[in-house]
Amino acid sequence: MTRMMLSLFAVLVMALAVPSTVYADMPVGDTIHQAVAADAAPAAEEAPAVEEEAPAAEAEEEADPTLLDIIAEHEIELTPEQMAEVEAYVAADQPEDFEWGTYGEGDDEAALNDILIGAFDSAMSGTSFWTDNLWILMAAFLVFIMHLGFATLESGLTQAKNTTNILFKNVMIICIGLLTYAIMGFNLMYPGFAEGSSGIFAFAGFGIGIGNEWDPMVYYANNTSSYAGYTWWTDFLFQGMFAATAATIISGCVAERIKLLPFLIFATVYVGFLYPWVGSWKWGGGWLDAMGFTDFAGSTLVHSVGGWGGLAMILILGPRKGKYVDGQVRPILPSNLPLATIGVFLLWFGWFGFNGGSQLDANPRWISYVCVTTSLAAACGGVMAGACSWVFGKKPDLSMALNGILAGLVGITAGPDTTFAWTIFIGLSSGVLVYFAVLFFDKIKIDDPVGALSVHLVCGIWGTIWAGAIGGTWAAQFTGIFAYGATSFIFALVLGLIVKAIFGIRVSEEEEMEGLDIGEHGTPAYHAIEAR
């Protein structure tokens, strides 16, 4: 049996690795972004050499464009009267509370600022900005669906008597995550580090308001390609959907024995402060970004950060009653494997937005390629974890196969813009790793009800390490892994102990045996089961 399975995997690796020769122009170690840059290099090399003028001793800093400059750039046609008003606006230093005149008659009557905003939208029409913005917005919707996947997966892999509690936690996590990200997380994660700063901490202020959005300059700066390939609001929504994921991972780690209120307090602080703060080190242009640390969509920034927090809370809580008895591991069986399977397929579906959206544009070649590598890694992880359970556990284990799919997804998330050969390697190795990680954590009596540590922490680290071989540097990757791990674990441990000291953190033994649905919520999820 073992020999047959190994032969099958060898054939699978060889068959899937062959198409990677299509990308022979992308050497091992290059990312998609590097390949794009390389495509543009020949034109620059073939251009005739031009002798550059020596820069002035004190070059003047380029001034920001005024509204007049923007109107000229986009060839917006205005009447002389309207142009005079724009000149007055610029002369007054472009105040947001400028009183704009109205033009036209009847249904065509509109204030000049509205006319200008309409002209900006028309200028963006037919450009890649509209397509890019739409794709990233749709990717945010896909990531949102992942929270339903987490909820159903966690509910299916735990006991029926705790389902209401688990669903309530997952509902609150996305609500709290979005609110805290709006209040402070977004501006903490993307603070705009000053040049020459340490890149460790900065804060751009509370709230996500951008000022008077009906001011032409404010509108142009935040809702056109002047901001990015997408609007400020799309940026916030996409990043906000990521923010709650870290706390969702922790929810799985502490399932079936934590008090509801202490968990929500912990999750609020963790997702509201810790996640965006450490996220700024890479995605916000902080010190790890400057070092060259790479993490395409969050193997470490999202998944490992959540995993480290979960590990700290497991150590504080201890295992569930009856899990480890007389030195033996006693499995606590899942209540609903069909629901868990639905959860994994929802997560896989959402991952197309998680990784594909992280390309941050709608380049058809690269978002399709990233989605392909994402799916191949998931498939390899599922096959390998399922096979490991069959070979070493003597029976094919559905829960292992499901976690193998997630392991492949988490592993490839650090570098889905890689070759097919690396994709297959990361997917297969993550599938093996998650199987033995689950056994290892049980052996050392770390009770993780849904295997979240094995999937998100272990495979998050694994994928980030190999991103150093395919697009970064080993030194930067290990520095990042250590920095995120140490900071997240220590923060979670201290925060968890503080919450425990103030509120208590674990339900009573009687409540744990009865189920948290009754003890915490007063109602079971499955009334037919309760009636029997």
Chain centroid to Cα 29, Å, comes to 23
**pLDDT category of residue 209 using cuts at 50, 70 and 90:** confident
- Looking at the chain, the domain(s) classified CATH 1.10.3430.10 span 133-527
pLDDT confidence tier of residue 430, bands split at 50, 70 and 90: very high
Cα separation, 269 vs 54, whole angstroms? 52
Greater model confidence, 127 or 356: 356
Average pLDDT value for the chain: 89
Q: Is the pLDDT of residue 32 over 60?
A: no
Instruction: State the pLDDT confidence band at 529, using cuts at 50, 70 and 90.
Output: low
d(CA 318, CA 254) in angstroms, rounded, equals: 9
Beta pairing class for 102-103 and 110-111: antiparallel
Mean of the pLDDT values across residues 333-343?
97
**Cα–Cα dist 258/449, whole Å:** 12
Q: Is the pLDDT of residue 21 over 80?
A: no
Per-residue confidence (pLDDT) for residue 528, from 0 to 100: 65
pLDDT tier at 211, thresholds 50, 70, 90:
confident
The pLDDT of residue 526 is above 70: yes
CATH no. for 133-527: 1.10.3430.10
Q: Are 356 and 139 in contact (CB under 8 A)?
A: yes
Asked which of 42-56, 71-85, 275-289 is least confident by mean pLDDT, the reply is 42-56
Please check whether residue 492 is in contact with residue 309, taking contact to mean a CB–CB distance below 8 angstroms: yes
Q: What is the DSSP string of 73-91?
A: HTT----HHHHHHHHHHHH
Please report the pLDDT score of residue 327 as a whole number. Answer: 87
Mapping DSSP to helix (H, G, I), strand (E, B) and coil, where does residue 54 land?
A: coil
